[in-house]
Amino acid sequence: MSGKTKAKRPGPGMRRRNLRRNTLPALAQAGPVSVWMIVFVTLPTLFIIYISFMSRGVFGDVVYEFSLESYQTLLDATYFKVILKSLRVAVFTTMACLVIGYPFAYYIARKPREQASRLIMLIMIPFWTNSLMRLNSWLLLFQTSGPVNNFLQWAGLTDSPITFIYTDGLVALGMVTNMLPFAVLPLYSTIEKLEKSLLEASSDLGASPAKTFMRITLPLTFPGIFSAIILTFIPALGIYTVSDILGGGKVLYIGNIIKNQFGQIRNWPLGAALSVLLLAITALLIFIYTRFAKLEDMEVV
Amino acid sequence: MAEAIVTLTDVEKSFGSNLVVQKMNLDIEAGEFLTLLGPSGCGKTTTLRMIAGFEDTSAGSIKVQGEPVEDKEPYQRDVNTVFQNYSLFPHMNVYDNVAYGLTIKKVPKDEIKTRVGKMLELVQLTGYEKRKPDALSGGQKQRVAIARALINNPKVLLLDEPLGALDLKLRKQMQLELKRLQKRLGITFVYVTHDQEEALTMSDRIAVMNGGVIDQLGSPKEIYDHPKTRFVASFIGESNIFDGTVQAVDGTLLTVETPAGLMQTRGEGFAVGEAMHISIRPEHLLAEKQPVPGFDLAGRVKDFTYLGTAVKTAIDLKDGTEAKFSRIEQDAECAEGDTVYVHWKPEKSVAIKKTAG
Ligand SMILES: Nc1ncnc2c1ncn2[C@@H]1O[C@H](COP(=O)(O)OP(=O)(O)O)[C@@H](O)[C@H]1O
Ligand SMILES: [Mg+2]
């Protein structure tokens, strides 16, 4: 193959002309996007990485002196625990979204198109409402004299009200409900593309429904599963509104700490270092994914 | 008579209020090549899917080797299907696709290897083991689909328009190959097609379907020479069909009045005044310069089409219908625009009873 192209090697002048002709349109196409990416993504990211290696001044200002202090702080038991806990919650949220989202997406995908789009709407409506409103309504529902507690007492399931609000449990519930659409949408779009005749072929060849699921459905919907993982895990790791409101400031995750470092506490280098940690985890996930599948197979709705 | 391997008894299928298959009775014999032939939408695929188990029957029963299969899921039935669109597993290579059925049954690995090897040899795909379906041509995909189904040694192989997506030349070649394969393996093939020529060349028996009903079941020759309904006569091969009423009966010789004119045919069980159809193949038409007794079919020769040695002509009859006419050699005495008198040997035409609908 390559031998053939080499055989017809053009003269130097010709090659230069080819080069000019081929790269210009490509550059022109990539140009605007690249500028946009550099200005709005690359530069801020580089700045964050840069800040994370600086030190904190006495008055909460950034002192432009190289230091690894922030990263050392991350290994500090208190922060390390929060990081681990955040990872745990993010993993839990992701798993829960997959376990709930997959059958749900499968169910929708097997409905006629018209019904399917109505069901998708049902998922999207809460997603479009203001998230603060949604989170506060969880508080109202679960507060001491709220409907849930009233019902439990009325049904005789408990004598005194149960404390739901400002607990890890309620935060987890908030996380899962918040992230579920991000899992369902990519799952739906891959499952929907799965040809029914492939499942029939598998059954025809002797595979029980369980075997068909393991050998055909699951592998063929893997791109959707991975997109769902990325789209739920990454926000779940960084989000702070859910724990802020449902945790009442008592439940702290990485997101809250980053927000606090950049906000009240004014330790930008530490906040930046935590952000870099999140970035690293994200990059790692995407790297793993690209090892498994081609990037264009990724379903991001 | 050979034993029936698949038996359909009064099988019906409706989707909502749409009755797609009606009261179907069919005995498929072991080792035969049976074709379900009919126009698009007549219920062929649905019939096949009921045998495979992808659709429930609305009424009636299906037996495979004498055993009712209604309660069996597709994966519990001893039949395999070659799907209309191949349906190869896109994430598996050719080897894994073909091995699928055996892998599911947990056949030992080295046995799978030899059987897949043999099967790929049979369909002439040795060396393609590592290819993904995406990297195969239509004909190759078809071969993989066939190998994947056959490796399970099914009692019956169901094929739904397997050659439909291939171009004409490849289709002709695959027709021969499939027929050869079927003879060699002795497996019962139930083959679905809407292509009557394909059905005639490949089948041991053909079931001609029309609107969810089997109009006629018989060998290609029976179906071609003795169509039982007007539909079969018009669907299989080229035919001139006249609708008329019996005017006179003389033994088996019937004289029939039609809008195009008087004509004769042979048939039993017809009464004077009965409405009926006559079908005559173009190759059996004769044309004379003089009127022929028993016939009154004057017409004008329209256009000639030369097809190598054969000549095709159309003749405009007096009621405006067109008679298709073909003969092996060009008739020098007959030219475009001539008035001729059409007739035929009565026994060459087929008298068809009028059926409801
Ligand atoms: N799943 C289904 N739901 C509703 N109608 C169907 C379904 N499958 C087939 N039909 C209808 O049944 C009739 C026969 O279809 P089919 O068996 O596929 O015909 P063929 O294979 O002979 O072309 C068609 O009118 C088709 O629209
Ligand atoms: Mg069909």
- Residue B84's nearest CA partner among B8, B150, B165, B184 is B165
The answer to whether B51 touches B65, Cβ cutoff 8 Å, is: no
Residue of B nearest to A195 (CA): B87
- DSSP string of A38-53, one letter each residue: IIIIIHHHHHHHHHHT
Give the residue with greater pLDDT, B13 vs A244. B13
Q: How many helices (H) and strands (E) does chain B have?
A: 8, 20
- The preferred substitution site among B12, B24, B46 for testing ligand 1, maximizing ligand atoms within 8 Å of CB, is B46
CA torsion angle A254 A255 A258 A264 (round to 10): -120
Q: Which two tokens stand for residue A103?
A: 């059958």
Residue B104 to residue A206, Cβ atoms within 8 A: yes
Domains of chain A (ranges, CATH numbers): 76-297 (1.10.3720.10)
pLDDT at residue number A35: 83
CA torsion angle A146 A151 A156 A162 (round to 10): -30
The tokens 């079941």 sit on which residue? B217
DSSP β-ladder status, B33-37 and B188-193: parallel
Task: For chain A, report the end-to-end CA distance as a whole number of angstroms.
Answer: 38
pTM: 0.81
Residue type at B41 in one-letter notation = G
The tokens 């041991």 sit on which residue? B204
Ligand 2 center–CA B355 separation, angstroms: 26
Residue of B nearest to A221 (CA): B91
B304 pLDDT band, cuts 50/70/90, is confident
| Residues of chain A above pLDDT 90, percent | 32
B21 Cβ below 6 A of ligand 1: no
pLDDT at A105 over 60: yes
Tell me which chain B residues have a C-beta less than 8 angstroms from the C-beta of A195: 87
A14 pLDDT band, cuts 50/70/90, is very low
- DSSP string of B86-137, one letter each residue: ----TTS-HHHHHHHHHHHTT--HHHHHHHHHHHHHHTT-TT-TT--GGGS-
pLDDT at A166 over 90: no
pLDDT at residue number B257: 93
Average pLDDT of the residues in B29-43: 95
DSSP H or E stretch at residue B350 = strand B350-353
Tell me which chain A residues have a C-beta less than 8 angstroms from the C-beta of B73: 203
pLDDT at residue number A300: 41
Task: For chain B, report the end-to-end CA distance as a whole number of angstroms.
Answer: 33
pLDDT at residue number B356: 62
Q: How many other CB atoms sit within 10 Å of the CB of residue A213?
A: 15
A264 touching B, CB under 8 A? no
pLDDT at residue number A41: 86
Computed over every residue of chain B, the mean pLDDT equals 91
Q: Where are the domains of chain B?
A: 4-233, 238-353
- DSSP string of B7-55, one letter each residue: EEEEEEEEETTEEEEEEEEEEEETT-EEEEE--TTSSHHHHHHHHHTSS
| Whole-number Cα distances in Å, A1 to A4, A6, A8, A19 | 5, 9, 12, 21
- For residue B1, give how far its alpha carbon lies from the nearest alpha carbon of chain A (Å): 30
pLDDT at residue number A32: 75
A28 pLDDT band, cuts 50/70/90, is low
A297 pLDDT band, cuts 50/70/90, is very low
B42 Cβ below 6 A of ligand 1: yes
Average pLDDT of the residues in B83-96: 94
Length of chain A: 301
DSSP H or E stretch at residue B314 = strand B310-317
CA torsion angle B235 B236 B240 B246 (round to 10): -80
Cα separation, A207 vs A211, whole angstroms: 6
pLDDT at B273 over 60: yes
Question: Which CATH number is associated with domain B4-233?
Answer: 3.40.50.300
A205 touching B, CB under 8 A? yes
Atom of ligand 1 nearest to the CA of B40: 23
B149 touching A, CB under 8 A? yes
Cα separation, A41 vs A45, whole angstroms: 6
DSSP H or E stretch at residue B67 = strand B67-68
Q: Which residues on adjacent β-strands are paired with residue B33?
A: B189
Tell me which chain A residues have a C-beta less than 8 angstroms from the C-beta of B101: 205-206
Burial pattern B249-288, b for ≥16 Cβ within 10 A else e, equals: beeeebbbebebbbbbbbbeebeeeeebbbbbbbebbebe
Region of poorest pLDDT, from A139-153, A211-225, B211-225: A139-153
Q: How many other CB atoms sit within 10 Å of the CB of residue B84?
A: 17
pLDDT at residue number A9: 44
pLDDT at A61 over 70: yes
Taking one residue from A and the other from B, the number of pairs with CB-CB distance under 8 angstroms is 56
Residue A234, class by beta-carbon neighbours within 10 Å (0-12 exposed, 13-18 middle, 19+ buried)?
Answer: buried
Cα separation, A21 vs A206, whole angstroms: 56
Beta-sheet strand order (sheet of B156-160): B79-82, B156-160, B188-193, B33-37, B205-210, B213-218
pLDDT at residue number B218: 96
Residue of B nearest to A219 (CA): B91
A156 pLDDT band, cuts 50/70/90, is confident
Region of poorest pLDDT, from A25-34, A51-60, B240-249, B278-287: A25-34
Cα separation, B329 vs B333, whole angstroms: 12
pLDDT at B330 over 80: no
| Residues of chain B above pLDDT 90, percent | 73
- The preferred substitution site among B15, B58, B83 for testing ligand 1, maximizing ligand atoms within 8 Å of CB, is B15
Cα separation, A53 vs A67, whole angstroms: 5
Length of chain B: 357
Ligand 2 center–CA A208 separation, angstroms: 25
Most confident of A1-5, A270-274, B11-15: B11-15
- The preferred substitution site among B45, B85, B213, B215 for testing ligand 1, maximizing ligand atoms within 8 Å of CB, is B45
Question: DSSP letter at B3?
Answer: P
The tokens 């025809």 sit on which residue? A204
Region of poorest pLDDT, from A6-20, A149-163, A198-212, B163-177: A6-20
pLDDT at residue number A22: 61
| Whole-number Cα distances in Å, A232 to A183, A184, A291, B247 | 6, 10, 20, 83
Cα separation, B79 vs B296, whole angstroms: 55
Question: Which CATH number is associated with domain B238-353?
Answer: 2.40.50.140
- For residue B74, give how far its alpha carbon lies from the nearest alpha carbon of chain A (Å): 5
pLDDT at B207 over 80: yes
Residue A93, class by beta-carbon neighbours within 10 Å (0-12 exposed, 13-18 middle, 19+ buried)?
Answer: buried
pLDDT at residue number A132: 85
pLDDT at B240 over 80: yes
Q: Which residues on adjacent β-strands are paired with residue B254?
A: B249, B265
Tens of pLDDT, residue by residue over A210-260, are 999 999 999 999 889 998 998 999 899 888 888 888 888 777 888 888 888
The answer to whether B150 touches B80, Cβ cutoff 8 Å, is: yes
pLDDT at residue number B246: 94
- For residue A157, give how far its alpha carbon lies from the nearest alpha carbon of chain B (Å): 44
Q: Which two tokens stand for residue A253?
A: 């995750």
Give the residue with greater pLDDT, A32 vs B171. B171
DSSP β-ladder status, B286-288 and B275-280: unpaired
The tokens 């009424």 sit on which residue? B59
Mutate to test the interface with B, among A194, A205, A222 (most CBs of B within 10 A): A205
Residue B34 has φ and ψ, to the nearest 5°, of: -105, 130
Most confident of A159-168, B115-124, B279-288, B333-342: B115-124
Residue A203 to residue B89, Cβ atoms within 8 A: no
B106 touching A, CB under 8 A? no
pLDDT at residue number B158: 97
Cα separation, A97 vs B18, whole angstroms: 41
> Coil, helix or strand for B268?
coil
Cα separation, B97 vs B70, whole angstroms: 28
